[in-house]
Amino acid sequence: MLHCRGGAFYVGHTEDLERRLAQHETGAVAGFTADRLPVVLVWNQAFPTRLAAKEAERQLKGWSRAKKMALIRDDWAEVSDLAKGKNGPSTSSGQTEGGEPCS
């Protein structure tokens, strides 16, 4: 997860984090992050398969800003509390807080 200029979060997945991060940091990747430089890596996790990574990406894009910030702080109690307090579908599809799939 990247934190972008303006406070937006970008969620994606990749098989080579260092290469992809460098692409985002230099603006070599056209799109969301290129228009919101600088970007800072604020959270990442390794997954056993690309499919598992894509599923986690999809899930994180649906999370509220508060829940993403709790994850970044590694505050699992807050993540859990925010999940319990969810009333209906998320209004954050990832479009408003950023995020397009990385490759």
Q: Domain residue spans in the chain? A: 2-84
**66 Rama class: left (phi>0) / alpha (psi -120 to 50) / beta:** alpha
pLDDT at 93: 42
Distances (CA, A) of 70 to 3, 8, 17, 29, 51: 14, 15, 22, 27, 24
pLDDT at 102: 45
Distances (CA, A) of 80 to 6, 18, 49: 27, 30, 25
Q: pLDDT tens-digit profile of 23-35? A: 999 999 899 999 9
CATH topology of domain 2-84: GIY-YIG endonuclease (3.40.1440)
Please give the Cα distance from 84 to 41 (Å, whole number): 27
Q: Which residues of the chain have pLDDT under 70?
A: 86-103
pLDDT at 85: 75
Task: Say whether 93 sits in a helix, a strand or coil.
Answer: coil
